[in-house]
Structure 1
Amino acid sequence: MLTTLAVENYRSLRRIVMPLRRLNVVTGPNGSGKSSLYRALRLLADASRNGAVAALAREGGLQSTLWAGPEHVRKDRPTQGTRRTGPVTLRMGFAGDDYGYLMDLGLPIPNGSEFDLDPEIKREALWAGPFLRPAALLVERTNSEVRIRSASGEWQRAGHKLQPFDSMLSEFADPERAPELMVVRERLRGWRFYDHFRTDATAPARLVQVGTRTAVLAPDGADVAAALQTIRELGPRGALDDAIELAFPSSRIEVVNTAGRFEIAFRQHGLLRPLSGAELSDGTLRYLLWVAALLTPRPPELLVLNEPETSLHPDLLPALANLVVTAAKETQVIVVSHSRPFISALAALSPELQTIELIKEQGATGITGQGPLDEPPWKWPSR
């Protein structure tokens, strides 16, 4: 389980060190930095597939994603630009009870290449335990050089230099020389994100699809019928029916198999025939998608949900909250939400819920009530 998330100089996240528990809700007003935090988590996951640099490019490049305010913020002075004293840097990292990892990206030294605006990975570090200490370092990367600590505690060079756009997570996850790096890489690749399922008339979830066993719902929800049937056959007994009954009393969900093509059939009290996926209301379909995502028979180590309450009727929020709390029994969950009724429903079901409220001051995102001494211990290594 992650215990700390740290981000520096990413959009409005000038510097944030966030404590994490089993079930977390990140909330705050519009523009407070909730979406930036969600994107930062996705960037960390992209690093495990060597995709962090490409993901930043899709957001407009490093210059577009960097903190746009002054290098040093003084509350007693008006905001004004000054001469930069430190390097351009975008830092992201996390720590848990067993391992921690961080990545530091910056700008290249111009050399006439057409890719001179691409960010480069300047530093990476993997360490044992919740705190970065020299004695806890297992693998570290400085520019193109990688060092791996052997079982005897001695440092060894990795053997070949990294390209500035390659992460050591993908290039040096060696089961013999750096097994811890492979463990962390696979964890990151297993993080699961769900963000705004489509429910419009042409949404993939409304279409009949070829059905195969689906333990993990696709990000676009296209295989929702197969995922629901998989939950019925492989998930906890009665969990699917209970989730439907809680949201829609006296209703039930069926999956129609026509020559291997699966389709939702939703039976409601008072109707003579079931409703197909194409006929469902946006809210009903969205709830079914969350059922398929949260009752997964193959829970990840980390599940991140971005505004799951969107387009749901307030009457469905307690049922959705029950799904989230149930999922948190098997996996760590981070929910980004601005819905007070939904957060209240979560709090009523889980006394262990941690609510993290973001606030923006002088353009920078902070955590309400968190002072410098309240932050989890965190240290960025120098370049």
Structure 2
Amino acid sequence: MITTLAVSGYRSLRDLVVPLGRLTVITGANGSGKTSLYRALRLLAETAQGRLVATLAAEGGLSSALWAGPETVSRAVRAGERPVQGTVRKGPVSLRLGFGGDAFGFAVDLGMPSREHPFPLDPAIKVEAMWNGERLGRLSVFAERRGPSVRLRGVRNGAWREVTERLSPFDSMVTHCAEPGDGAELLTLRERMRDWRFYDALRTDPDAPARRPQMMTFTPVLGGDGADLAAAIATVAAIGDAAALEEAVEHAFPGSRLEVGGDVAGPGGLRLHQHGLLRPLGLAELSDGTLRYLLLVAALLSPRPPELMVLNEPEASLHPSLLPSLARLLARASRRCQVVVVSHSEPLIDALREAGVIEEVRLEKSFGETGAPGVEAPGWDWPRR
């Protein structure tokens, strides 16, 4: 489980370290930095997929993603005694992302590419480190990258071995140096990071993929756009927690039940039987809120839970009456995997408090910088360049 998330120099996150629990809610006012923290988690996941640099480039390049304020905000500025103004930079341009957990930790430091590089918007990976446990330490590091050089600590004798001295600044050691033997721990962490699951694009509009006829095939994991909703629900009913599925529907829509229709060998669909209606409703007929709730049911009751599931504003389109049902689902899912929820819905947060113990990270912005004033920051150390 991830216990610490650290971000430095990314958008409004000048220097933020927050704890993560089994079920964590990240909240705050609009513009407080919730989306930036969510994106930071996604960027870490993209590292394991080999897409970190490309994703940052798609955001407009490193210059667009970097903290836009001064390198430091003095007490005089915060007290209003001096205006906010630029200062002479003391350190290198840097965007750093990292996490620590009960088993492993990882951090990456990105900076500007060399001047002769033909793609100046692409960030360059300067430093990477992986270690055992929650916090970086001299003896806990087992993989280290500085510039183009990567070295791994031997499993048997603990001695360092140089793996390469020619790694591209746009490639991560996570994807290019994981191997059996000395790189086995690196390989294990890469696969764990690749298992992280994100839901922020579940569509419910009239043309949403979930509303179309679907092939009924084994689907233990709901797709990011919800296109395979019917198959995912059918899979939960077949090999997952069918009782929890029925309970989730009944709790949200009393007297209702789901029916998987169509030939299992061809296009099929999902129908919702509701009390008082003479026929069931197909997915194309459901309201946006009802469809979204069913999408969240399929995601959270997956028979193949990930190590980490992150949901961005899952309450969107939901009527307030459905938030207690969603909270129950989130609490149930957190018993099988770590869950992070980004939300500004106080009713949902209240319902989550009632459903079980949660870690709450409330963000606030001051002088353009995101902070978590009510949260005790865990200890954290960045790898040095």
TM-score under structure 1 length normalisation: 0.97
Q: Is it true that 1:364 corresponds to 2:380 in the alignment?
A: no
- Within the candidate set 352, 376, 379, 2:378 is matched to 376
Residue aligning to 1:143 = 147
- Within the candidate set 194, 197, 200, 2:199 is matched to 194
Q: Which moved more, 1:151-160 or 1:356-365?
A: 151-160
Residue aligning to 2:31 = 31
1:356/1:368 contact within 8 Å kept? no
- Within the candidate set 130, 135, 138, 1:126 is matched to 130
Partner Cα separation in structure 1 for residue 120 and residue 40 of structure 2 = 23
Partner Cα separation in structure 2 for residue 280 and residue 210 of structure 1 = 19
1:100/1:130 contact within 8 Å kept? yes
- Give the partner amino acid of 1:331: C
Q: Is it true that 1:116 corresponds to 2:111 in the alignment?
A: no
Q: Is it true that 1:40 corresponds to 2:44 in the alignment?
A: no
What SS does structure 2 have at the residue aligned with 1:134?
A: coil
1:178-212 Cα shifts (integer Å, max 9, x gaps) = 11101110011000000141111110000001121
- Give the partner amino acid of 1:73: V
1:102-141 Cα shifts (integer Å, max 9, x gaps) = 0000001201x32133110000000111111111110100
Report the Cα offset of residue 72 of structure 1: 1.1
- Within the candidate set 352, 360, 371, 1:355 is matched to 360
- Give the partner amino acid of 1:48: A
TM-score under structure 2 length normalisation: 0.97
- Give the partner amino acid of 2:299: A
Report the Cα offset of residue 237 of structure 1: 3.7
- Give the partner amino acid of 2:382: W
1:93/1:101 contact within 8 Å kept? yes
Partner Cα separation in structure 2 for residue 276 and residue 222 of structure 1 = 14
- Within the candidate set 276, 299, 307, 1:270 is matched to 276
Partner Cα separation in structure 2 for residue 66 and residue 342 of structure 1 = 32
* Structure 2 residue runs without a partner (length 5+): 78-82
Partner Cα separation in structure 2 for residue 59 and residue 16 of structure 1 = 20
What SS does structure 1 have at the residue aligned with 2:181?
A: coil
1:309-334 Cα shifts (integer Å, max 9, x gaps) = 00100110000111100000000000
Partner Cα separation in structure 2 for residue 110 and residue 196 of structure 1 = 37
Residue aligning to 1:59 = 59
1:251-280 Cα shifts (integer Å, max 9, x gaps) = 001110235212011110111111111101
What SS does structure 1 have at the residue aligned with 2:189?
A: helix
What SS does structure 2 have at the residue aligned with 1:157?
A: strand
- Within the candidate set 71, 90, 93, 2:95 is matched to 90
- Give the partner amino acid of 2:31: G
Partner Cα separation in structure 1 for residue 164 and residue 344 of structure 2 = 48
- Give the partner amino acid of 1:43: L
Runs ≥4 in structure 1, deviation > 2 angstroms?
none
Partner Cα separation in structure 1 for residue 144 and residue 287 of structure 2 = 51
Residue aligning to 1:173 = 178
Aligned residues: 378
2:60/2:121 contact within 8 Å kept? no
What value does the CA root-mean-square deviation take over the aligned residues?
1.0
Residue aligning to 2:72 = 72
Partner Cα separation in structure 2 for residue 116 and residue 357 of structure 1 = 36
- Give the partner amino acid of 1:26: I
- Give the partner amino acid of 1:212: T
What SS does structure 2 have at the residue aligned with 1:48?
A: helix
Report the Cα offset of residue 214 of structure 1: 0.4
